[in-house]
Structure 1
């Protein structure tokens, strides 16, 4: 794809508020800042304020504008209203040429909606993910569907995600398969080599990427991430009990970075605090998280992004949810959707820990989410469209046209 030079840089406002958005937009921001065609304006909303700005600095991203929208135990309706209002003010002040949002957070939806109100075109990174169940995950499934009605550029990570968009009526010429920027960032961070694993140090440990369980004298290493709203409460307490049962095997080391959400901590701490074999840690910065992922043997998660990262490092994943918007990993065999029942969690974890054939089958399934070149493809398409003599307004054709 050619990328003709523009006479003036395109002012691109990248709106992000959470750690996953920062991780996945960092490669786009770095690429924009490295050349003359774009001037990135990074705006943070502060959804994950405590962990965000330090991490962005580590990822080589400069923040231009920082908002402060979070309030203690704030309702989604209040957060959404506050975000749209404050982002609308920023857009009127800055008047960027386009707004870039990522994924399915409340920040992403509010950024797209505020841009629509100001008649500024929107680029959606990681577009087209769907479970088909409007409230699972909640509110992400609705958020990403609504952004799909607004965006001018839909940067889909996989062919399946692209098909979701065209099936919904998005014109083919506005959908672009790029791979996922999370792979760009993971490879960049591991190449930097500056992260520290949260697992116990072991000079004999050697992260394996060939599908074999890491050979070491010490325990098998399990990385766990839990935070989903729909899993909070009794369901998450049950997950905590399942982790306790796994820890009592005596041959595993479980690392669980505790999400800042009080609801998550209220559910997990009573079950796991002080449990031998379970290491509860504060949220890891991304460099340390990448190093921890590289050293684990198995991932248990209800998160989204880690389902994309783990296959790049040959780490089998058990997805503790009833639906996933990333079925490609499941279809490839790199992940398994096992639900939230504690017995199922223990059964499947032990199967992978004890059965080397099953473990190797999942670990060598490959990664369907990209090759580390997603940001380059995104910038190439944007540069080409802004340089060409075609409209780059809200939309150009099809059922969403504003012409």
Structure 2
């Protein structure tokens, strides 16, 4: 069997990597296509040991999407995959799904049915996912709620499969292979001091949001005495707002989470909610809604909203009461094997 994977973001890479490994171990031929993405995608690939067979990366976003639509069908004609696996967190993923669809190769959508609910945050990310799902023959839902979302939108029941989270499965595999590595211990010593000091890890993509969160933490500085604050940022002009913080390269997200040991992650990045749960960390999600509500319901995460002081209050409360719940919010143990088996059974 031949399977092509198309990834443009860190989230997409993590959703696909465990399935890619599972299929390769079973003897399948694979083609991994990088469709856009920046340096953080490269670093994530290096972290998990993934290798891209082809890269489509030209200029700005519209130019890159156009290049995917132009170049990918020719590649697919040569490779002749039984499946093209996509997620579609952005326009690059949609372009990949469209390229496969118009070239008459069946599309499999991984991480299907993730929804923000009745929220103003139903913006580009969810629209792109829905577009890719519409172009797909099979839909792999990571949770029962995601499956219910798809069925409520009149997706064909025969196309929807509840498999567990392949992203969580990728992170579990990574945790097992890297938990005792020397590099993890070195990062732990440098960022966290190697002790049992509680930490707050700021992993925030948007510069304005990071500034507001830091301003909020300044207002709660007395309540955060003795807490180590680590900022994971790629912004070379990062402003610490007068706080005593440790700054880490923003491309080392997984390494930092692996090394943290004990603490709370403050983030506006959806997939980090899953990662934090795998590594035993609580999450303050800087948002009004989440496409992973299971983490909130299971006690792994809280929604703080966007205002800095509200975020700071949520951080203080989480640090005071945090005990990792016994139940993981996302079942990922056998997700990749489940997806791989369905792809094999239904290959065209």
1:350 — aligned with what? 316
Mapped pair 1:380 → 2:346:
no
TM-score, reference length from structure 1:
0.77
1:139 — aligned with what? 124
| Residues in 2 aligned to 1:93 and 1:240: alpha-carbon distance in whole angstroms | 51
- On the 8 A contact 2:90/2:125 being kept in 1, the answer is yes
Mapped pair 1:283 → 2:250:
yes
1:295 — aligned with what? 261
1:41 — aligned with what? 31
- On the 8 A contact 1:302/1:320 being kept in 2, the answer is yes
- On the 8 A contact 1:30/1:60 being kept in 2, the answer is no
1:66 CA displacement: 1.8
Q: Deviations over 1:72-92 (max 9, x none)?
A: xx3x54443333333334333
Mapped pair 1:185 → 2:164:
no
| Residues in 1 aligned to 2:86 and 2:234: alpha-carbon distance in whole angstroms | 23
Distance 1:383 1:348, change over 3 A: same
Q: Which runs of 5+ in 2 are unaligned?
A: none
| Residues in 2 aligned to 1:53 and 1:80: alpha-carbon distance in whole angstroms | 19
Distance 1:141 1:135, change over 3 A: farther
2:23 — aligned with what? 32
Q: What is the RMSD computed on CA atoms of the aligned residues?
A: 2.5
Distance 1:167 1:60, change over 3 A: same
- On the 8 A contact 2:276/2:283 being kept in 1, the answer is yes
1:220 — aligned with what? 198
Which protein shows a greater Rg? Answer: 1
Distance 1:314 1:54, change over 3 A: closer
SS in 2 for 1:56: helix
| Residues in 2 aligned to 1:314 and 1:287: alpha-carbon distance in whole angstroms | 13
1:258 — aligned with what? 233
Mapped pair 1:335 → 2:335:
no
- On the 8 A contact 1:158/1:368 being kept in 2, the answer is no
- On the 8 A contact 1:221/1:253 being kept in 2, the answer is yes
SS in 2 for 1:13: strand
How many residues are matched?
342
Q: Which runs of 5+ in 1 are unaligned?
A: 1-9, 206-215, 387-391, 393-403
TM-score, reference length from structure 2:
0.88
1:168 — aligned with what? 153
Distance 1:55 1:328, change over 3 A: closer
| Residues in 1 aligned to 2:71 and 2:118: alpha-carbon distance in whole angstroms | 30
1:64 — aligned with what? 53
2:133 — aligned with what? 148
